[in-house]
Amino acid sequence: MAQRVAVSEVGGGRASKRTSRVRVAVRLRPYMEEQDEKGEGPCVRGLGPQSLEITNWRNATETLQYQFDVFHGEQSTQQEVFLSSVKPILPHLLNGQNASVFAYGPTGAGKTHTMLGSPEQPGVIPRAVREVFHLVREQEREKGDWEYSIGMSYLEIYNEKVLDLLSPGSQDLPIREDKERNILIPGLTYVPLSSFSHFHTHFIPASLNRTTASTKLNQRSSRSHAILLIKVVKSQRGPPHRQLTGKLYLVDLAGSEDNRRTGNQGLRLKESGAINLSLFTLSKVVDCLNAGAGRVPYRDSKLTRLLQDSLGGSAHSVMITNIAPEYKYYFDTFTALNFAAKSKLIVNRPFVRETVSSSAPVKRPSDEQASAAAGEPQRKRVKEGHEEEEKEGVPAGAQPHSPAVSTVLDRLLALEKLMMGSPERERLNLLKTVAQSRREIQELRDKQRELEAKALKFERADQDKGMQGDSVLCKTELSSLHRKQSTVARPKKQQAVVPPLQVSQVQPLQQCAVLCKPSLCSSNKQHGPVLKGKENNKAEDSCISNDWESRLDQSVLQQSQQKILEILNSGTLKNLKTLQLVGDKTAKLILGWREINGPFQQVEDLQKVEGITAKRFSSFIKANILGTIGR
Ligand SMILES: Nc1ncnc2c1ncn2[C@@H]1O[C@H](COP(=O)(O)OP(=O)(O)OP(=O)(O)O)[C@@H](O)[C@H]1O
């Protein structure tokens, strides 16, 4: 599990070589109806004071559990966050040590709320400053031989420029390092403070100078990293007149952004690039510090350069990762959690299950596939505490995607995997490619939806008028899109064409190599009320559950089984996990079985592996054969 707890008790000020880890807290914002247009419910929930779980978009039957130093749930108050994550580090300032607290997370997840708060619910900044004054007054009372002074600076980093918020209109300020490795910003306004209310008179107007702009996601989205510096200078009244300075950085980071979702363009896009770059560097720095790496890339961004003497080394740092529970934030949340945690646990027990009522409009599988592929997790209704057998035998997350979408999705998955272990520049390039893939998926999804809607309209018209002519046109257009998707995605390989529902109805089943994927058959079922009666649906259901193999060309079937057998017999753990319905645990069981019993003679032997029942095997074989053909 992620172990980032041990903020070392450093006795000797900045000269100490000991490196503190960054303490990681996660705060989950309350679920907000208005942020969830589709009414999908939350995709993440707390499990305890240090852990949470999120649904696994790769497999809807699993959740991913994460552990942190602290988890602040939806109900957590500003006071609780302050007391457990921030207050403990403040006394170090009075010993000449540095500290930093920064709020990280996607746009709209609650960073500003956590750091700044509101007059009714003040956040970390006002509480921390008040506490610093309190600690100083206490020390002054107890130890009369030292005198203290407190002062502030306030700046923002916007588009990699350092701007003074206490002196609006100032130019980009340089960042320097003195002989003792203290970071300085020559020209930055420094205001000595006499009291907490004095702090307020400077801080509030300066906060309004912060560069904010409206994006689709957050009306006052922070476009810059706002950094408040509180300095405590402790001077000995008598000889040898020692002086100690402790710096506290309180940082409200700009939101990490997915530009596809925010709709950023032009200047906003440029801002977003700078934001993501510095956050990326910050993540590298935190990773290096927590891994005890020799070289920490502080200099790669202004943000980390500025925080250099207050992040790592002898400084005490806390990162509060803010996350949002709505599905539309799923990937941002997922990324933020992966940044914050070093490891995670996959659990085969979803905390959500499908409970779409029969009267509710049913979402078509093509939409499901496309939305999962486009970076949104499978849609689910939440009902906790129960588990239900999968009705179709194939879990929602295991349903095959249309060839084009799954090709892009495969690429996306591969890229994401690759990114985890790549050096920084490579990761940036990969990030770009990932964004491009996501865009492609989105475009394919939109086009597919549009044509399916069109086809459905024609189908209805046909039924009313008893005519076929027009719909053929649309069906042809739709099937040509599918063909186009296949060829665009993989021009050189021969592609299995997956005809949409309407096409498979008018074509004899044996004409195509692949005729009916379960998702498409169930798509058929869901169009049922429009297209046919209930009994036909039933008949078709049984065709889906029992007859799918007979719909396939036998040689194709054999080839696919052979391919699966090859993976089962020679695949590594990683290869095995590429099979549908094979997670980490099953892959390990397969490897174990193979080691003891030798190669599988036929795919059916898989049922000899512990936990693979006949039902599971049948789902496995169905999902994988159709998946293999689709590739
Ligand atoms: N813990 C919370 N309790 C109640 N409301 C919250 C909480 N966290 C956030 N909010 C509300 O959610 C909205 C978005 O929060 P906030 O502006 O803090 O997000 P942010 O992460 O700072 O976004 P950005 O990066 O765009 O500035 C605000 O209306 C805020 O009041």
pTM of this structure = 0.56
Average pLDDT value for residue range 29-46: 78
* Most confident of the following: 12-16, 350-354, 407-411: 407-411
What is the Cα–Cα distance from 475 to 456, expressed in whole angstroms? Answer: 9
Which range, of 14-18, 240-244, 471-475, 591-595, averages the lowest pLDDT? 471-475
- pLDDT tops 50 at residue 309: yes
Q: Which atom of ligand 1 is nearest to the CA of 78?
A: 1
Residue 105 annotated as lining a ligand binding site: yes
Name which residue leads in pLDDT, 465 or 434: 434
Calculate how far, in angstroms, residue 109's C-alpha sits from the geometric centre of ligand 1: 5
Give the chain's mean pLDDT: 69
Residue 294 annotated as lining a ligand binding site: no
Q: Which atom of ligand 1 is nearest to the CA of 215?
A: 26
Token representation of residue 401: 């995607």
3-state secondary structure of 322: strand
pLDDT in tens, 127-136: 999 999 999 9
Whether the CB-CB separation of 27 and 320 falls below 8 Å is answered with yes
Calculate how far, in angstroms, residue 113's C-alpha sits from the geometric centre of ligand 1: 5
pLDDT in tens, 330-346: 888 888 888 777 544 55
Which range, of 181-185, 208-212, 504-508, 598-602, averages the lowest pLDDT? 504-508
Task: State the pLDDT at residue 109.
Answer: 92
What is the Cα–Cα distance from 284 to 289, expressed in whole angstroms? Answer: 9
Confidence of residue 23 (pLDDT cuts 50, 70, 90): confident
Average pLDDT value for residue range 286-303: 83
Q: Which atom of ligand 1 is nearest to the CA of 115?
A: 18
Calculate how far, in angstroms, residue 80's C-alpha sits from the geometric centre of ligand 1: 17
Burial annotation 252-275 (CB, 10 A radius, 16+ → b, else e): bbbbbbbbebbebeeebeebbbbb
- pLDDT tops 70 at residue 625: yes
The closest of 179, 96, 93 to 129, measured between CA atoms, is 93
- pLDDT tops 60 at residue 481: no
Nearest CA to ligand 1 atom 23: 108
Whether the CB-CB separation of 35 and 29 falls below 8 Å is answered with no
Task: State the pLDDT at residue 338.
Answer: 83
Residue 110 annotated as lining a ligand binding site: yes
- pLDDT tops 70 at residue 65: yes
- pLDDT tops 70 at residue 360: no
Name which residue leads in pLDDT, 151 or 376: 151
Calculate how far, in angstroms, residue 576's C-alpha sits from the geometric centre of ligand 1: 42
Pocket probe for ligand 1: among 118, 218, 253, the residue whose CB has the most ligand atoms within 8 Å is: 218
What is the Cα–Cα distance from 210 to 226, expressed in whole angstroms? Answer: 7
Residue 263 annotated as lining a ligand binding site: no
Task: State the pLDDT at residue 429.
Answer: 60
Q: How large is the ipTM?
A: 0.97
One DSSP character per residue, 324-360 reads --BGGGHHHHHHHHHHH-S-EEEES--S------TTS
Q: Specify whether the backbone of 263 is left (phi greater than 0), alpha (psi in -120 to 50) or beta.
A: left
Task: State the pLDDT at residue 418.
Answer: 52
One DSSP character per residue, 446-477 reads HHHHHHHHHHHHHHHHHHHHT--HHHHHHHHH
Calculate how far, in angstroms, residue 216's C-alpha sits from the geometric centre of ligand 1: 14
Cα torsion through 50, 583, 410, 524, rounded to 10:
-110
Cα torsion through 290, 296, 302, 305, rounded to 10:
90
What is the Cα–Cα distance from 446 to 452, expressed in whole angstroms? Answer: 10
3-state secondary structure of 420: helix
Nearest CA to ligand 1 atom 31: 113
Task: State the pLDDT at residue 462.
Answer: 54
Residue with tokens 């964004």: 435
Amino acid at 94: L
3-state secondary structure of 619: helix
Name which residue leads in pLDDT, 374 or 111: 111
Nearest CA to ligand 1 atom 26: 221
3-state secondary structure of 172: coil
Residue with tokens 């990761």: 427
Confidence of residue 7 (pLDDT cuts 50, 70, 90): very low
Q: Which atom of ligand 1 is nearest to the CA of 322?
A: 21
Calculate how far, in angstroms, residue 110's C-alpha sits from the geometric centre of ligand 1: 3
Calculate how far, in angstroms, residue 222's C-alpha sits from the geometric centre of ligand 1: 11
Task: State the pLDDT at residue 414.
Answer: 53
- pLDDT tops 80 at residue 207: yes
Residue 109 annotated as lining a ligand binding site: yes
Average pLDDT value for residue range 509-522: 32
The neighbour count for residue 116, using CB atoms within 10 Å, is 23
Residue 245 annotated as lining a ligand binding site: no
Residue 567 vs residues 466, 578, 599, 600: alpha-carbon distances, Å: 49, 9, 11, 10
At CA 197, angle to CA 196 and CA 200, rounded to 5? 95
Pocket probe for ligand 1: among 113, 222, 332, the residue whose CB has the most ligand atoms within 8 Å is: 113
Calculate how far, in angstroms, residue 21's C-alpha sits from the geometric centre of ligand 1: 27
Confidence of residue 574 (pLDDT cuts 50, 70, 90): confident
Confidence of residue 171 (pLDDT cuts 50, 70, 90): confident
Task: State the pLDDT at residue 155.
Answer: 93
Nearest CA to ligand 1 atom 1: 29
Average pLDDT value for residue range 576-580: 87
Calculate how far, in angstroms, residue 115's C-alpha sits from the geometric centre of ligand 1: 10
Residue 112 annotated as lining a ligand binding site: yes
Q: Which atom of ligand 1 is nearest to the CA of 76?
A: 1
Task: State the pLDDT at residue 169.
Answer: 79
What is the Cα–Cα distance from 60 to 62, expressed in whole angstroms? Answer: 5
Task: State the pLDDT at residue 554.
Answer: 75
Name which residue leads in pLDDT, 127 or 34: 127
Q: Which atom of ligand 1 is nearest to the CA of 212?
A: 27
Calculate how far, in angstroms, residue 400's C-alpha sits from the geometric centre of ligand 1: 37
Residues 6+ apart with CB under 8 A from 162: 155, 156, 172, 173, 174, 175, 185, 188, 302, 306
Residue with tokens 């403040």: 90
The closest of 372, 346, 412, 386 to 519, measured between CA atoms, is 372
Token representation of residue 69: 């130093």
Nearest CA to ligand 1 atom 2: 29
Nearest CA to ligand 1 atom 16: 110
Whether the CB-CB separation of 225 and 210 falls below 8 Å is answered with no
Pocket of ligand 1 (CB under 6 A): 29-30, 105, 107-113, 218, 221-222, 254-255, 322
Confidence of residue 419 (pLDDT cuts 50, 70, 90): low
Percent of the chain scoring above 70 in pLDDT: 58
Q: Length of the chain, please?
A: 631
Strand partners, 117: 122
Average pLDDT value for residue range 319-332: 89
Task: State the pLDDT at residue 259.
Answer: 46
Nearest CA to ligand 1 atom 12: 110
What is the Cα–Cα distance from 66 to 421, expressed in whole angstroms? Answer: 19
The closest of 512, 327, 528 to 403, measured between CA atoms, is 512
Amino acid at 176: R
What is the Cα–Cα distance from 146 to 584, expressed in whole angstroms? Answer: 60
Calculate how far, in angstroms, residue 6's C-alpha sits from the geometric centre of ligand 1: 29
